[in-house]
């Protein structure tokens, strides 16, 4: 049997337009404490941490000295007052000396970088110890159902995230990959967080906080929302996926890549 035809969408620049579309990001994307605990554990006993692509500050530990680096002014303005202001800067030219930090973190940001290898090499240059990257592995199996409604989103994410090897080899260390299940009440509003709350995707604010939607032609997004809305209204979604509402968590493609120098 031949494989299904993949949607004809090409992502030429993976960067999301935070200046134009990120104004309400922090209202939907809030750190989930269970995921945060995994990240903070992976940072080990580091006392100084560089947070690259820090955004609004999700997942930054508050018991260590953290230097946030973020290129978007819109995102820097959404940081809460109890966190340090973020420096304006990008991952491809980090303004610090070699080995300046005990550890570094990069949370759901690598898929925005046009030159991933250069950015990750820069992070390794300024980091003495572990580098913790939270990302998605598009090649991994998932219990999430969005691909049935939006194969175009799956194609976009596949191109933007790329294989995990594109991360591990560029960090040039000993890497381990940790799978993270997503809880039903996850507070970080990435797509899989709503596996049991499909109604959320009918809210434009939710979609605007998930960068992949911005790479779809408007008519494709409209079709996805219309079809999902109709299936929710008719009970068709419930008949096929309603069992997920009772699942405390699902296995999806969320991963931590933890790289330590050789």
For the stretch 189-241, pLDDT in tens is: 999 999 999 999 999 999 999 999 999 999 999 999 999 999 999 999 999 99
Domains delineated in the chain: 18-261 (3.40.50.150)
pLDDT reported for residue 70: 97
pLDDT in tens, 93-150: 999 999 999 999 999 999 999 999 999 999 999 999 999 999 999 999 999 999 999 9
Contact 260, 130 (CB under 8 A): yes
Please state whether the predicted TM-score (pTM) of the whole model is above 0.85. yes
Exposed e or buried b per residue across 59-75, where buried means at least 16 C-beta atoms within 10 angstroms of its C-beta: bbbeeeebbbbbbbebb
For a pLDDT cut of 70, what percent of the chain falls above it?
Answer: 97
pLDDT in tens, 145-156: 999 999 999 999
Q: How many helices and strands in the chain, by DSSP H and E?
A: 11, 9
Directed axis angle between helix 151-161 and helix 218-234, to 10°? Answer: 130
């Amino acid at each position: 049997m031949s494989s299904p035809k993949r949607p004809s969408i090409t992502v030429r620049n993976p960067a999301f337009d935070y200046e134009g579309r990120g104004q309400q990001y922090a209202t939907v994307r809030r750190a989930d404490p269970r995921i945060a605990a995994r990240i903070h554990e992976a940072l080990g006993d580091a006392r100084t941490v560089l947070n690259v692509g820090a955004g609004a500050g999700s997942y930054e530990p508050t018991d260590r000295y953290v230097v946030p680096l973020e290129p978007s002014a819109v995102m820097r303005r959404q940081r809460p007052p109890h966190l340090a202001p973020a420096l304006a800067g990008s991952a491809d030219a980090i303004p610090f000396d070699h080995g300046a930090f005990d550890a570094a973190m990069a949370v759901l940001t690598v898929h925005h970088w046009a030159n991933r290898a250069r950015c990750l090499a820069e992070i390794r240059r300024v980091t003495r110890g572990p580098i913790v990257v939270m990302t998605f592995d598009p090649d991994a199996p998932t219990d999430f159902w969005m691909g049935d409604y939006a194969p175009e989103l799956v194609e976009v994410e596949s191109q933007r995230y790329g294989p995990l090897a594109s991360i591990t080899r560029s960090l040039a260390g000993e890497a381990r990959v940790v799978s993270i299940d997503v809880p039903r009440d996850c507070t970080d509003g990435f797509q899989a967080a709503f596996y049991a709350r499909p109604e959320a995707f009918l809210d434009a604010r939710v979609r605007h906080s998930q960068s992949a939607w911005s790479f779809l032609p408007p008519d494709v997004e409209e079709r996805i929302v219309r079809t999902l809305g109709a299936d929710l209204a008719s009970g068709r979604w419930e008949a096929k996926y309603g069992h997920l509402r009772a699942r405390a968590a699902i296995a999806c493609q969320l991963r931590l890549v933890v790289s330590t120098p050789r």
